[in-house]
Amino acid sequence: MTTVLHLDRITKRFGALTANDAVTLELKEGEILALLGENGAGKTTLMNILFGHYAADEGRVEVFGRELPPGRPRAAIEAGVGMVHQHFTLAGNLSVLDNVMLGSEPLLRLRSRRDEGRARLMALSEQFGLPVEPDARVARLSVGERQRVEILKALYRDARILILDEPTAVLARPEAQRLFEILRGMTGQGLSIIFISHKLNEVMAASDRVAVLRGGRKVAERKTPETSPEDLAELMVGRRVTRPRRQAHAVGAPRLVAEAVTVQLDGKTALENVSFTVHAGEILGIVGVSGNGQAALGALLSGIAAPEGGRLTLEGREIGGLGPRAFIAEGIGRVPEDRHAEGVVGELPVWENSVLERLAAPEFSTRGFVRRAAARAHAAGLIERFDVRGATPETRIRLLSGGNMQKLILGRVLSAGPKVILANQPTRGLDEGAIAAVHAELLAARSEGAAIILISEELEEAVGLSDRLQAIVGGRLSTPVSAEEADPRRLGLMMAGVWEEPEDAA
Protein backbone atom coordinates (compact mmCIF):
# COMPACT_ATOMS: atom_id res chain seq x y z
CA MET A 1 0.00 0.00 0.00
CA THR A 2 1.29 3.44 -0.98
CA THR A 3 1.94 5.98 1.77
CA VAL A 4 -0.14 9.09 1.01
CA LEU A 5 0.53 11.04 4.22
CA HIS A 6 3.51 11.25 6.54
CA LEU A 7 3.58 13.38 9.70
CA ASP A 8 7.19 13.48 10.89
CA ARG A 9 7.86 14.27 14.58
CA ILE A 10 5.22 17.00 14.86
CA THR A 11 5.53 19.19 17.96
CA LYS A 12 3.16 22.04 18.86
CA ARG A 13 3.21 24.18 21.99
CA PHE A 14 0.71 26.68 23.34
CA GLY A 15 2.67 28.56 25.97
CA ALA A 16 3.62 26.06 28.67
CA LEU A 17 1.28 23.39 27.22
CA THR A 18 2.75 20.89 24.75
CA ALA A 19 -0.26 19.80 22.72
CA ASN A 20 1.72 17.52 20.38
CA ASP A 21 5.07 16.03 21.33
CA ALA A 22 7.11 14.57 18.44
CA VAL A 23 4.15 12.72 16.90
CA THR A 24 4.88 10.58 13.82
CA LEU A 25 1.99 9.16 11.83
CA GLU A 26 1.47 7.56 8.42
CA LEU A 27 -1.64 6.96 6.30
CA LYS A 28 -1.85 4.47 3.43
CA GLU A 29 -3.90 4.72 0.24
CA GLY A 30 -7.42 3.32 0.68
CA GLU A 31 -7.03 3.05 4.47
CA ILE A 32 -9.25 4.21 7.33
CA LEU A 33 -7.12 5.25 10.28
CA ALA A 34 -8.83 5.99 13.61
CA LEU A 35 -7.14 8.59 15.83
CA LEU A 36 -8.04 7.88 19.43
CA GLY A 37 -7.29 9.64 22.69
CA GLU A 38 -8.69 11.34 25.75
CA ASN A 39 -10.22 14.81 25.60
CA GLY A 40 -7.29 17.19 25.26
CA ALA A 41 -4.84 14.49 24.10
CA GLY A 42 -3.88 16.56 21.03
CA LYS A 43 -5.88 14.82 18.29
CA THR A 44 -7.62 17.88 16.85
CA THR A 45 -4.46 19.99 17.16
CA LEU A 46 -2.56 17.40 15.11
CA MET A 47 -5.20 17.40 12.38
CA ASN A 48 -5.33 21.20 12.36
CA ILE A 49 -1.57 21.20 11.72
CA LEU A 50 -2.06 18.78 8.83
CA PHE A 51 -4.79 21.00 7.35
CA GLY A 52 -2.77 24.17 7.84
CA HIS A 53 -4.87 25.88 10.54
CA TYR A 54 -1.83 25.72 12.83
CA ALA A 55 1.89 25.75 12.05
CA ALA A 56 3.95 23.14 13.89
CA ASP A 57 6.83 24.35 16.05
CA GLU A 58 8.85 21.32 14.93
CA GLY A 59 8.42 18.56 12.37
CA ARG A 60 7.06 18.41 8.85
CA VAL A 61 4.05 17.19 6.88
CA GLU A 62 4.37 15.28 3.61
CA VAL A 63 1.36 14.62 1.35
CA PHE A 64 1.88 12.31 -1.64
CA GLY A 65 5.63 12.68 -1.16
CA ARG A 66 5.71 16.48 -1.15
CA GLU A 67 6.27 18.62 1.93
CA LEU A 68 3.43 21.03 2.76
CA PRO A 69 4.26 24.62 3.71
CA PRO A 70 3.16 25.14 7.34
CA GLY A 71 0.08 27.14 8.27
CA ARG A 72 -1.48 27.32 4.80
CA PRO A 73 -4.90 25.62 4.44
CA ARG A 74 -5.03 26.51 0.75
CA ALA A 75 -1.84 24.50 0.16
CA ALA A 76 -3.36 21.52 2.00
CA ILE A 77 -6.55 21.71 -0.10
CA GLU A 78 -4.56 21.95 -3.33
CA ALA A 79 -2.52 18.90 -2.23
CA GLY A 80 -5.73 16.89 -1.86
CA VAL A 81 -6.51 17.20 1.88
CA GLY A 82 -10.09 17.84 2.99
CA MET A 83 -11.31 18.33 6.56
CA VAL A 84 -14.79 18.04 8.08
CA HIS A 85 -14.83 19.71 11.46
CA GLN A 86 -16.88 18.48 14.42
CA HIS A 87 -18.79 21.77 14.39
CA PHE A 88 -19.81 22.32 10.80
CA THR A 89 -18.63 25.42 8.91
CA LEU A 90 -21.66 25.94 6.68
CA ALA A 91 -23.66 29.11 5.96
CA GLY A 92 -27.20 28.28 7.02
CA ASN A 93 -28.82 30.98 4.89
CA LEU A 94 -27.28 29.65 1.66
CA SER A 95 -28.22 26.65 -0.45
CA VAL A 96 -26.34 23.36 -0.54
CA LEU A 97 -24.88 24.26 -3.95
CA ASP A 98 -23.77 27.71 -2.76
CA ASN A 99 -22.02 26.21 0.26
CA VAL A 100 -20.23 23.61 -1.82
CA MET A 101 -19.05 26.11 -4.45
CA LEU A 102 -18.17 28.89 -1.99
CA GLY A 103 -14.48 29.74 -2.31
CA SER A 104 -13.88 27.34 -5.19
CA GLU A 105 -13.97 29.96 -7.97
CA PRO A 106 -11.61 32.87 -8.71
CA LEU A 107 -12.74 36.16 -7.22
CA LEU A 108 -12.19 37.97 -10.55
CA ARG A 109 -14.50 35.67 -12.48
CA LEU A 110 -17.47 37.80 -13.55
CA ARG A 111 -20.03 35.02 -13.48
CA SER A 112 -20.36 31.89 -11.38
CA ARG A 113 -20.50 28.65 -13.34
CA ARG A 114 -23.42 27.29 -11.37
CA ASP A 115 -24.60 24.85 -14.03
CA GLU A 116 -21.18 23.20 -14.12
CA GLY A 117 -21.05 23.23 -10.34
CA ARG A 118 -24.49 21.63 -10.06
CA ALA A 119 -23.56 18.89 -12.52
CA ARG A 120 -20.30 18.18 -10.66
CA LEU A 121 -22.07 18.14 -7.28
CA MET A 122 -24.71 15.68 -8.48
CA ALA A 123 -22.06 13.45 -10.04
CA LEU A 124 -20.14 13.32 -6.75
CA SER A 125 -23.39 12.72 -4.86
CA GLU A 126 -24.17 9.69 -7.02
CA GLN A 127 -20.59 8.39 -7.11
CA PHE A 128 -20.15 8.32 -3.33
CA GLY A 129 -23.75 7.63 -2.25
CA LEU A 130 -24.27 11.01 -0.58
CA PRO A 131 -27.75 12.19 -1.65
CA VAL A 132 -28.41 15.93 -1.35
CA GLU A 133 -30.83 18.51 -2.75
CA PRO A 134 -28.67 21.26 -4.33
CA ASP A 135 -31.24 24.04 -3.84
CA ALA A 136 -32.18 23.20 -0.24
CA ARG A 137 -31.35 25.79 2.42
CA VAL A 138 -28.70 24.38 4.74
CA ALA A 139 -30.51 25.79 7.81
CA ARG A 140 -33.41 23.42 7.09
CA LEU A 141 -31.30 20.29 6.81
CA SER A 142 -30.90 17.62 9.48
CA VAL A 143 -27.51 17.13 11.15
CA GLY A 144 -26.81 14.06 9.03
CA GLU A 145 -27.66 15.94 5.82
CA ARG A 146 -25.35 18.82 6.80
CA GLN A 147 -22.54 16.37 7.32
CA ARG A 148 -23.06 15.02 3.80
CA VAL A 149 -22.75 18.58 2.50
CA GLU A 150 -19.46 19.05 4.38
CA ILE A 151 -18.05 15.82 2.91
CA LEU A 152 -19.21 16.76 -0.59
CA LYS A 153 -17.63 20.20 -0.17
CA ALA A 154 -14.28 18.50 0.47
CA LEU A 155 -14.73 16.06 -2.43
CA TYR A 156 -15.71 18.94 -4.73
CA ARG A 157 -12.21 20.31 -4.12
CA ASP A 158 -10.67 16.97 -5.21
CA ALA A 159 -9.82 15.71 -1.72
CA ARG A 160 -8.00 12.38 -1.74
CA ILE A 161 -7.31 12.44 2.01
CA LEU A 162 -10.34 13.13 4.19
CA ILE A 163 -10.11 14.11 7.87
CA LEU A 164 -13.27 13.71 9.97
CA ASP A 165 -13.23 15.21 13.47
CA GLU A 166 -15.73 13.35 15.69
CA PRO A 167 -17.96 12.55 12.69
CA THR A 168 -20.66 10.77 14.72
CA ALA A 169 -20.75 13.06 17.78
CA VAL A 170 -24.13 14.51 16.79
CA LEU A 171 -25.48 11.64 14.68
CA ALA A 172 -28.11 9.10 15.64
CA ARG A 173 -26.98 5.48 15.47
CA PRO A 174 -28.58 4.67 12.07
CA GLU A 175 -26.99 7.82 10.59
CA ALA A 176 -23.60 6.82 12.01
CA GLN A 177 -23.86 3.31 10.56
CA ARG A 178 -24.78 4.73 7.17
CA LEU A 179 -21.85 7.19 7.34
CA PHE A 180 -19.33 4.42 7.90
CA GLU A 181 -20.81 2.41 5.03
CA ILE A 182 -20.24 5.47 2.83
CA LEU A 183 -16.68 5.91 4.09
CA ARG A 184 -15.85 2.29 3.38
CA GLY A 185 -17.17 2.76 -0.15
CA MET A 186 -14.95 5.81 -0.53
CA THR A 187 -11.80 3.90 0.38
CA GLY A 188 -12.74 1.36 -2.27
CA GLN A 189 -12.43 4.22 -4.77
CA GLY A 190 -8.97 5.20 -3.57
CA LEU A 191 -9.65 7.78 -0.85
CA SER A 192 -7.78 7.62 2.43
CA ILE A 193 -9.51 8.63 5.65
CA ILE A 194 -8.53 9.68 9.18
CA PHE A 195 -11.34 9.94 11.69
CA ILE A 196 -11.17 11.13 15.27
CA SER A 197 -13.55 9.38 17.63
CA HIS A 198 -14.18 8.51 21.26
CA LYS A 199 -16.63 5.71 20.48
CA LEU A 200 -14.64 2.51 20.77
CA ASN A 201 -17.23 0.25 19.15
CA GLU A 202 -17.28 2.50 16.08
CA VAL A 203 -13.50 2.49 15.95
CA MET A 204 -13.52 -1.31 15.99
CA ALA A 205 -16.21 -1.53 13.32
CA ALA A 206 -15.00 1.14 10.90
CA SER A 207 -11.19 1.38 10.96
CA ASP A 208 -8.31 -0.62 9.53
CA ARG A 209 -5.77 0.73 12.01
CA VAL A 210 -5.82 2.75 15.25
CA ALA A 211 -3.30 5.29 16.55
CA VAL A 212 -3.63 6.30 20.20
CA LEU A 213 -2.52 9.66 21.62
CA ARG A 214 -2.09 10.32 25.34
CA GLY A 215 -0.83 13.58 26.76
CA GLY A 216 0.15 14.81 23.31
CA ARG A 217 2.32 11.78 22.46
CA LYS A 218 1.58 8.76 20.31
CA VAL A 219 1.63 5.87 22.77
CA ALA A 220 0.40 3.01 20.60
CA GLU A 221 -0.57 1.89 17.13
CA ARG A 222 -2.64 -1.22 16.46
CA LYS A 223 -4.18 -3.04 13.54
CA THR A 224 -7.86 -3.02 14.38
CA PRO A 225 -8.44 -6.79 14.09
CA GLU A 226 -5.60 -7.33 16.60
CA THR A 227 -7.02 -5.18 19.43
CA SER A 228 -10.20 -4.77 21.50
CA PRO A 229 -12.27 -1.94 23.02
CA GLU A 230 -10.90 -2.80 26.47
CA ASP A 231 -7.30 -2.68 25.22
CA LEU A 232 -7.87 0.66 23.47
CA ALA A 233 -9.57 2.21 26.52
CA GLU A 234 -6.61 1.25 28.70
CA LEU A 235 -4.15 2.66 26.17
CA MET A 236 -6.10 5.94 26.04
CA VAL A 237 -6.09 6.64 29.76
CA GLY A 238 -3.14 4.57 30.98
CA ARG A 239 -5.24 2.37 33.25
CA ARG A 240 -8.11 -0.09 33.13
CA VAL A 241 -11.44 1.75 32.75
CA THR A 242 -14.70 0.43 34.19
CA ARG A 243 -17.93 2.37 34.03
CA PRO A 244 -19.77 2.54 37.36
CA ARG A 245 -23.30 1.16 37.47
CA ARG A 246 -26.32 2.09 39.51
CA GLN A 247 -26.92 0.20 42.72
CA ALA A 248 -30.48 -0.25 43.98
CA HIS A 249 -31.51 2.02 46.83
CA ALA A 250 -34.67 3.54 48.27
CA VAL A 251 -35.87 6.73 46.58
CA GLY A 252 -37.51 9.70 48.27
CA ALA A 253 -40.67 11.68 47.69
CA PRO A 254 -41.73 12.94 44.26
CA ARG A 255 -39.74 16.06 43.47
CA LEU A 256 -40.41 17.13 39.88
CA VAL A 257 -43.76 16.22 38.30
CA ALA A 258 -45.10 16.90 34.80
CA GLU A 259 -48.83 16.33 34.29
CA ALA A 260 -50.16 16.25 30.71
CA VAL A 261 -47.76 19.00 29.60
CA THR A 262 -47.91 20.35 26.07
CA VAL A 263 -45.18 22.59 24.64
CA GLN A 264 -45.12 24.49 21.37
CA LEU A 265 -41.93 25.65 19.66
CA ASP A 266 -41.94 27.78 16.48
CA GLY A 267 -45.71 27.43 16.24
CA LYS A 268 -45.62 23.62 16.26
CA THR A 269 -46.48 21.13 18.99
CA ALA A 270 -43.13 19.78 20.19
CA LEU A 271 -44.36 17.95 23.31
CA GLU A 272 -47.87 16.55 23.61
CA ASN A 273 -49.59 15.44 26.81
CA VAL A 274 -46.26 14.55 28.46
CA SER A 275 -46.33 13.16 32.00
CA PHE A 276 -43.52 11.97 34.26
CA THR A 277 -42.44 11.96 37.89
CA VAL A 278 -38.86 11.94 39.16
CA HIS A 279 -38.22 11.32 42.86
CA ALA A 280 -35.48 12.46 45.18
CA GLY A 281 -32.51 10.09 44.83
CA GLU A 282 -33.69 8.75 41.47
CA ILE A 283 -32.45 8.87 37.89
CA LEU A 284 -35.19 8.89 35.27
CA GLY A 285 -33.81 8.02 31.83
CA ILE A 286 -35.41 9.42 28.68
CA VAL A 287 -34.37 7.45 25.58
CA GLY A 288 -35.24 7.86 21.94
CA VAL A 289 -33.97 8.47 18.44
CA SER A 290 -32.69 12.01 17.91
CA GLY A 291 -35.31 14.56 16.83
CA ASN A 292 -38.29 13.13 18.71
CA GLY A 293 -38.75 15.99 21.18
CA GLN A 294 -35.62 15.78 23.30
CA ALA A 295 -34.73 19.42 22.56
CA ALA A 296 -38.22 20.60 23.57
CA LEU A 297 -38.10 18.55 26.77
CA GLY A 298 -34.71 20.07 27.59
CA ALA A 299 -36.11 23.56 26.96
CA LEU A 300 -39.09 22.85 29.24
CA LEU A 301 -36.89 21.58 32.08
CA SER A 302 -34.54 24.56 31.73
CA GLY A 303 -37.33 27.13 31.94
CA ILE A 304 -36.74 28.25 28.35
CA ALA A 305 -40.09 26.91 27.11
CA ALA A 306 -43.34 27.37 29.03
CA PRO A 307 -46.15 24.79 29.02
CA GLU A 308 -49.09 25.58 26.75
CA GLY A 309 -51.14 23.12 28.75
CA GLY A 310 -50.76 20.88 31.79
CA ARG A 311 -48.70 21.47 34.93
CA LEU A 312 -45.01 21.30 35.88
CA THR A 313 -44.43 21.28 39.64
CA LEU A 314 -41.37 21.20 41.90
CA GLU A 315 -42.11 19.79 45.36
CA GLY A 316 -45.77 20.62 44.78
CA ARG A 317 -45.22 24.23 43.61
CA GLU A 318 -46.13 25.27 40.06
CA ILE A 319 -42.98 26.36 38.19
CA GLY A 320 -44.00 26.12 34.53
CA GLY A 321 -43.33 29.42 32.78
CA LEU A 322 -41.17 30.98 35.52
CA GLY A 323 -38.11 31.27 33.27
CA PRO A 324 -34.48 30.10 33.46
CA ARG A 325 -33.39 32.48 36.25
CA ALA A 326 -36.19 31.24 38.52
CA PHE A 327 -35.43 27.60 37.69
CA ILE A 328 -31.82 28.09 38.78
CA ALA A 329 -32.97 29.86 41.95
CA GLU A 330 -35.31 26.94 42.67
CA GLY A 331 -32.36 24.53 42.57
CA ILE A 332 -32.69 23.10 39.06
CA GLY A 333 -29.28 22.59 37.42
CA ARG A 334 -28.81 21.77 33.77
CA VAL A 335 -26.16 20.19 31.59
CA PRO A 336 -27.38 21.37 28.16
CA GLU A 337 -27.28 19.33 24.97
CA ASP A 338 -25.28 21.97 23.05
CA ARG A 339 -22.44 23.00 25.33
CA HIS A 340 -21.07 25.61 22.92
CA ALA A 341 -24.33 27.44 22.20
CA GLU A 342 -26.06 27.06 25.58
CA GLY A 343 -23.48 25.95 28.15
CA VAL A 344 -20.68 28.52 28.01
CA VAL A 345 -19.67 31.93 26.67
CA GLY A 346 -16.63 31.09 24.58
CA GLU A 347 -14.78 34.40 24.90
CA LEU A 348 -15.05 34.53 28.69
CA PRO A 349 -12.41 32.87 30.89
CA VAL A 350 -13.03 29.66 32.80
CA TRP A 351 -13.53 31.49 36.12
CA GLU A 352 -16.36 33.63 34.76
CA ASN A 353 -18.06 30.66 33.12
CA SER A 354 -17.80 28.72 36.37
CA VAL A 355 -20.00 31.25 38.22
CA LEU A 356 -22.23 32.53 35.41
CA GLU A 357 -25.37 30.97 36.87
CA ARG A 358 -24.55 31.94 40.46
CA LEU A 359 -23.31 35.52 40.26
CA ALA A 360 -26.00 36.69 42.66
CA ALA A 361 -24.92 34.19 45.33
CA PRO A 362 -23.30 35.92 48.35
CA GLU A 363 -20.12 33.85 48.04
CA PHE A 364 -19.49 35.36 44.59
CA SER A 365 -20.82 38.93 44.86
CA THR A 366 -21.21 41.72 47.39
CA ARG A 367 -23.52 44.69 46.76
CA GLY A 368 -23.46 44.05 43.04
CA PHE A 369 -19.67 43.64 42.78
CA VAL A 370 -18.19 40.30 41.74
CA ARG A 371 -15.83 38.74 44.28
CA ARG A 372 -13.21 37.79 41.72
CA ALA A 373 -10.80 36.07 44.09
CA ALA A 374 -13.57 33.81 45.38
CA ALA A 375 -14.75 33.08 41.82
CA ARG A 376 -11.21 32.22 40.67
CA ALA A 377 -10.70 29.95 43.68
CA HIS A 378 -14.01 28.25 42.91
CA ALA A 379 -12.93 27.69 39.29
CA ALA A 380 -9.58 26.28 40.40
CA GLY A 381 -11.41 23.81 42.63
CA LEU A 382 -13.65 22.68 39.74
CA ILE A 383 -10.64 22.26 37.46
CA GLU A 384 -8.95 20.01 40.01
CA ARG A 385 -11.99 18.00 41.09
CA PHE A 386 -13.32 17.36 37.60
CA ASP A 387 -9.94 16.98 35.88
CA VAL A 388 -10.48 19.82 33.40
CA ARG A 389 -7.26 19.47 31.42
CA GLY A 390 -5.40 22.31 29.76
CA ALA A 391 -7.28 24.89 31.85
CA THR A 392 -6.50 27.56 34.38
CA PRO A 393 -9.07 30.00 35.80
CA GLU A 394 -7.87 32.57 33.24
CA THR A 395 -8.05 30.32 30.15
CA ARG A 396 -10.57 31.38 27.52
CA ILE A 397 -13.06 28.55 27.63
CA ARG A 398 -13.31 28.31 23.82
CA LEU A 399 -9.71 27.02 23.87
CA LEU A 400 -10.72 23.89 25.80
CA SER A 401 -11.59 20.64 24.07
CA GLY A 402 -15.29 19.82 23.98
CA GLY A 403 -14.90 17.11 26.61
CA ASN A 404 -13.08 19.36 29.07
CA MET A 405 -15.68 22.06 28.51
CA GLN A 406 -18.36 19.49 29.35
CA LYS A 407 -16.60 18.49 32.56
CA LEU A 408 -16.49 22.13 33.69
CA ILE A 409 -20.23 22.56 33.00
CA LEU A 410 -21.00 19.42 35.01
CA GLY A 411 -18.82 20.67 37.85
CA ARG A 412 -20.57 24.05 37.81
CA VAL A 413 -23.94 22.32 38.15
CA LEU A 414 -23.00 19.79 40.83
CA SER A 415 -21.09 22.30 42.98
CA ALA A 416 -24.35 24.22 43.53
CA GLY A 417 -25.98 21.23 45.26
CA PRO A 418 -29.10 21.19 43.03
CA LYS A 419 -32.39 19.54 43.94
CA VAL A 420 -32.99 18.55 40.32
CA ILE A 421 -30.42 17.93 37.56
CA LEU A 422 -31.21 17.90 33.86
CA ALA A 423 -28.41 15.91 32.19
CA ASN A 424 -29.05 16.26 28.45
CA GLN A 425 -26.63 14.05 26.47
CA PRO A 426 -24.05 14.52 29.29
CA THR A 427 -21.30 12.35 27.76
CA ARG A 428 -21.61 13.29 24.10
CA GLY A 429 -18.09 13.64 22.69
CA LEU A 430 -16.34 12.40 25.84
CA ASP A 431 -13.62 9.77 25.99
CA GLU A 432 -14.08 6.53 27.92
CA GLY A 433 -12.28 7.75 31.04
CA ALA A 434 -14.29 10.98 31.12
CA ILE A 435 -17.54 9.05 30.60
CA ALA A 436 -16.78 6.87 33.61
CA ALA A 437 -16.00 9.99 35.69
CA VAL A 438 -19.25 11.74 34.65
CA HIS A 439 -21.29 8.63 35.42
CA ALA A 440 -19.68 8.40 38.87
CA GLU A 441 -20.55 12.04 39.60
CA LEU A 442 -24.18 11.59 38.54
CA LEU A 443 -24.54 8.49 40.69
CA ALA A 444 -22.97 10.33 43.62
CA ALA A 445 -25.49 13.16 43.20
CA ARG A 446 -28.27 10.56 43.12
CA SER A 447 -26.97 9.06 46.39
CA GLU A 448 -27.05 12.53 47.96
CA GLY A 449 -30.74 12.91 47.09
CA ALA A 450 -30.75 14.78 43.78
CA ALA A 451 -33.54 13.99 41.32
CA ILE A 452 -31.95 13.50 37.89
CA ILE A 453 -33.52 13.50 34.42
CA LEU A 454 -31.08 11.84 32.03
CA ILE A 455 -31.80 12.43 28.34
CA SER A 456 -29.55 10.13 26.33
CA GLU A 457 -29.37 8.49 22.92
CA GLU A 458 -26.87 5.95 24.29
CA LEU A 459 -28.92 2.97 25.48
CA GLU A 460 -26.04 1.42 27.41
CA GLU A 461 -25.61 4.65 29.35
CA ALA A 462 -29.32 5.09 30.05
CA VAL A 463 -29.87 1.52 31.22
CA GLY A 464 -26.70 1.50 33.33
CA LEU A 465 -27.59 4.68 35.23
CA SER A 466 -31.38 4.92 35.34
CA ASP A 467 -33.78 3.61 37.95
CA ARG A 468 -36.68 3.95 35.52
CA LEU A 469 -36.90 4.70 31.81
CA GLN A 470 -39.35 6.31 29.44
CA ALA A 471 -39.10 6.52 25.65
CA ILE A 472 -39.79 9.74 23.76
CA VAL A 473 -41.36 9.35 20.32
CA GLY A 474 -42.88 12.17 18.31
CA GLY A 475 -43.04 14.45 21.32
CA ARG A 476 -44.85 11.91 23.50
CA LEU A 477 -43.54 9.90 26.47
CA SER A 478 -44.12 6.21 27.01
CA THR A 479 -45.21 4.44 30.14
CA PRO A 480 -42.24 4.29 32.56
CA VAL A 481 -40.54 0.93 33.11
CA SER A 482 -38.01 -0.06 35.76
CA ALA A 483 -34.41 -0.64 34.70
CA GLU A 484 -34.81 -4.33 35.54
CA GLU A 485 -37.66 -4.58 32.99
CA ALA A 486 -35.81 -2.65 30.29
CA ASP A 487 -34.54 -5.49 28.12
CA PRO A 488 -33.39 -4.57 24.58
CA ARG A 489 -36.55 -5.91 22.93
CA ARG A 490 -38.88 -3.91 25.15
CA LEU A 491 -36.82 -0.73 24.79
CA GLY A 492 -36.77 -1.18 21.03
CA LEU A 493 -40.56 -1.43 20.94
CA MET A 494 -40.92 1.61 23.20
CA MET A 495 -38.59 3.66 21.00
CA ALA A 496 -40.68 2.61 18.01
CA GLY A 497 -43.79 3.98 19.71
CA VAL A 498 -45.27 0.66 20.85
CA TRP A 499 -46.45 0.95 24.44
CA GLU A 500 -49.55 0.94 26.59
CA GLU A 501 -51.02 4.34 27.39
CA PRO A 502 -49.88 5.32 30.91
CA GLU A 503 -52.43 5.49 33.67
CA ASP A 504 -49.95 6.93 36.18
CA ALA A 505 -46.49 8.21 35.23
CA ALA A 506 -45.31 7.93 38.86
pLDDT for 505: 43
**With pLDDT > 70 as the criterion, what percentage of the chain qualifies?**
97
Worst-scoring range by mean pLDDT, 164-178, 197-211, 405-419? 164-178
CA distances from 467 to 4, 246, 370, 476 (A): 50, 8, 40, 20
- Residues 184 and 314: their CA atoms lie apart, in Å, by 50
Q: Is the pLDDT of residue 146 over 90?
A: no
Q: Is the pLDDT of residue 272 over 60?
A: yes
- Determine how many CB atoms are found less than 10 A away from the CB of residue 287: 26
- Determine how many CB atoms are found less than 10 A away from the CB of residue 481: 19
- Domain 246-331+417-506 sits in CATH 3.40.50.300: yes
What residue spans define the domains of the chain? 3-237, 246-331+417-506, 347-410
Q: Is the pLDDT of residue 260 over 60?
A: yes
Query: pLDDT grade, residue 504 (50/70/90)?
Result: very low
Residue 287, H or E segment: strand 283-287
Q: Can you list the alpha helix ranges (DSSP code H) found in 415-487?
A: 432-447, 459-465
* 8 A C-beta contact, residue 446 and residue 282: yes
Q: Can you list the alpha helix ranges (DSSP code H) found in 81-196?
A: 96-101, 114-128, 143-156, 173-188
pLDDT for 506: 44
Q: Can you list the alpha helix ranges (DSSP code H) found in 257-333?
A: 294-302, 324-329
Over residues 88-141, the pLDDT tens digits come to: 788 888 999 999 998 877 766 667 788 899 999 999 999 888 888 999 998 888
Q: Is the pLDDT of residue 501 over 70?
A: no
Q: CB within 8 A of 113, min separation 6: which ones?
A: 105
Region label for 346, one of left (φ > 0), alpha (ψ between -120 and 50) or beta (otherwise) = alpha
Worst-scoring range by mean pLDDT, 12-16, 112-116, 454-458, 497-501? 497-501
Over residues 464-475, the pLDDT tens digits come to: 999 999 999 999
pTM (2 d.p.): 0.76
Query: pLDDT grade, residue 145 (50/70/90)?
Result: confident
Over residues 34-84, the pLDDT tens digits come to: 999 887 788 989 999 999 999 999 999 999 999 999 999 999 999 999 988
Over residues 209-243, the pLDDT tens digits come to: 999 999 899 999 999 999 998 899 889 888 887 88
Q: CATH number of the domain at 3-237, please? A: 3.40.50.300
* Single-letter code of the amino acid located at 224: T
Question: What is the residue-wise DSSP string for 52-68?
Answer: TSS--SEEEEEETTEEP
